[in-house]
A and B are shown apart, each in its own frame.
Chain A
Amino acid sequence: MDPERWRKIEEIYHAALECEPGERAAFLLEACAGDDELLHEAESLLTFKERTGGFHGCPGYGSGC
């Protein structure tokens, strides 16, 4: 994946996390502007974050998480 595209995904991913859960889907559609691959990648990462506990439970790293 080219780094520029990855930076875009990263930007959308972090912005989506800031959204209220009910607004996230609409935000993603707008931010990805018809780019299905981008949308798929962002959704996939967000889904995986939910599934793996995301920010919670980092005993080894103190407040850094």
Chain B
Amino acid sequence: MQPSGHEITQLLRAWSGGDQGALERLAPLVYAELHRTAHRYMVRESPDHTLQTSALVNEVYLRLVDAQEVNWQDRAHFFGVCARLMRRVLTDFARSRGYLKRGGGSPHIALDEALVVSPEPRADLVALDEALNALAAIDPRKSQVVELRFFGELSSEETAEVLKVSPETVKRDWRLARVWLLREMSGERCHGS
């Protein structure tokens, strides 16, 4: 049975308060709704039917959560879990369409524009996903900052709340991570030991 908005809101609040078990129960519920909503946009035939990921997440938020009951910190946590799941939904979609990692050349993703969900998935999302995994291996927090800001379109302040660091740290992390990822995706990186 689909849990009520109130139940989901309680799980969200418990997770924001540090209860990791609540996140484990919350994530599958959010994933199902996000997946369903994203696919509705992806399977439309006209490429004109696009939607910014932030609008999509907002749609899911309003459907699942009792917005009256949550404060901005809980809302940031909800968008945080959505960002992670959104990365999975979009990357899996790009892979299922047969897109492979791009080999070298300039990356198409500039990491400075709003991400869009559309029937034409961007092949470079696969490259970004792999570059983010590589970044996570040396600096997990920076990888999370990009995930939250790019896939969830969280603000620096919301990202800071989810990661429990200062907004200044988020901004610094974002700037360096962006350059690192663009270089990684361009294939120009000199892999040292």
Which residues does A use to contact B, with CB under 8 Å?
1, 3, 6, 10, 13-14, 37, 40-41, 44-45, 48-49, 52-55, 57-62, 64-65
Q: Is B1 an interface residue (CB 8 A)?
A: no
Contact between B112 and A14, CB atoms less than 8 A apart: no
Q: Is B192 an interface residue (CB 8 A)?
A: yes
Nearest B-chain residue to A10, judged by Cβ? B176
Query: How many interface contacts (CB-CB < 8 Å) are there between A and B?
Result: 69
Contact between A55 and B190, CB atoms less than 8 A apart: no
Q: Do A40 and B190 contact each other (CB < 8 Å), given the known contacts A61-B149, A64-B171?
A: yes
Number of B interface residues, CB 8 Å?
28
The one of A14, A40, A53 in contact with B176, judged by C-beta atoms closer than 8 angstroms, is A14
Known: A10-B176, A48-B182. 10 other contacts (CB 8 A): A1-B138, A13-B176, A40-B192, A45-B183, A49-B179, A53-B112, A64-B155, A64-B170, A64-B174, A65-B112
Contact between A48 and B179, CB atoms less than 8 A apart: yes
Q: Do A64 and B149 contact each other (CB < 8 Å), given the known contacts A6-B138, A13-B176, A49-B179?
A: yes
The one of A14, A44, A58 in contact with B190, judged by C-beta atoms closer than 8 angstroms, is A44
A-B contact pairs, 28 of them (CB 8 A): A1-B138, A1-B193, A6-B138, A6-B139, A14-B172, A37-B192, A44-B188, A44-B190, A45-B180, A45-B183, A48-B182, A48-B183, A52-B179, A53-B110, A53-B112, A54-B179, A55-B175, A57-B112, A60-B112, A60-B115, A61-B112, A61-B153, A61-B174, A64-B149, A64-B156, A64-B170, A65-B112, A65-B171
